[in-house]
Structures are given as C-alpha cells and as structure tokens.
Amino acid sequence: MGAMAKKSPSGPNQRQLRVGELIRRRLSELLQRGEIHDPDLARMSITVGEVRCSPDLKVATAYVLPLGGGQKEEMLTALRNSRHEIRREVSKALSIKFAPEIRFEIDDTFDRMDATRALFADEHVARDLDRDDE
C-alpha cells in the first residue's frame, strides 16, 4: 500500500472510539458551561451526538444539533468561527500528541429515524412486511 493508509472495513478501532468519546464529552462540557467566548454560542443549547475520528486521529467530526432543531446554520457558523478556540480547549483534555482538527456537521440521526418510521408506516411497506411474516 505504500504511503496510503489501509482502510478498515470493520469500522473505527478502539483508539478512534475512545478519542472520539473524550472529544464529545469535553465539547459538550464547553458548550454547556458557556466556556467558549462567543456570544452566539453562549445563547444556544447544543447537543453533541457523536464525534468520529479519522484513522490517523488528525480530524474529528462532531455531529451537533441545536436544542429544538432550529437555527442549524447559525449554530454551524458560530461553531466554525470558534473552531480554533474549541480545538485549543478540547486538546487540554486529551492525552495525545497532536490535537485533531475539529469539523462540525449537523447530526441527522433523528431525521433518518423519522424517515424510517414513516417508511414503516406506509401501507405498501406494511403490506409487504406482513406478507414476509406469512
């Protein structure tokens, strides 16, 4: 493979999961306590659903959602504008050599769950599922 990293078909390794969870906890604390010096972030309640790290731990993607689901774009803009301060504060809680770059994305887990529920509620799908049970 040379200089290219092997891609693991089995998903993230234990180190990725552990670092991702440490970042998620610290990021949640920072946002909950209003420790980031941004008035826009201070007035928002933000949920950090998950943080996924790249295999080399250089990039961490935080999946976030504002409480109530509104103001998604404003939240993303505020988080991205404060990303350097957030990275610095999060890195203090990590015991790794280099702090990862933190990227922010909307957590669409609940939207996907709603879409799945709606799909199962569809009469055509329900009929096909009933047919499979027979």
Per-residue pLDDT tens digits for 27-86: 999 999 988 999 988 888 999 999 999 999 999 999 999 987 778 999 999 999 999 999
More confident residue, 114 or 103: 103
Of the CA atoms within 13 Å of residue 55, those in its CB half-sphere come to: 8
Distance, in Å, from the CA atom of 107 to the CA atom of 63, rounded to the nearest integer, reads 5
pLDDT band of residue 133 (cuts 50, 70, 90) is low
The pLDDT of residue 97 is above 70: yes
The pLDDT of residue 96 is above 50: yes
Q: 14-107, which class in CATH? A: alpha beta
For residue 69 the two structure tokens come to: 């689901």
Count of positions (residues) in the chain:
134
Q: What is the pLDDT of residue 98?
A: 84
More confident residue, 117 or 18: 18
Distance, in Å, from the CA atom of 84 to the CA atom of 80, rounded to the nearest integer, reads 8
- Which sequence spans correspond to the domains of the chain? 14-107
Beta-sheet strands, E only, within 1-134:
46-53, 59-66, 101-106
pLDDT band of residue 110 (cuts 50, 70, 90) is low
- Supply the DSSP string of 38-65, one letter for each residue: -HHHHT--EEEEEEEE-TTSSEEEEEEE
Mean pLDDT rounded to a whole number for the chain: 82
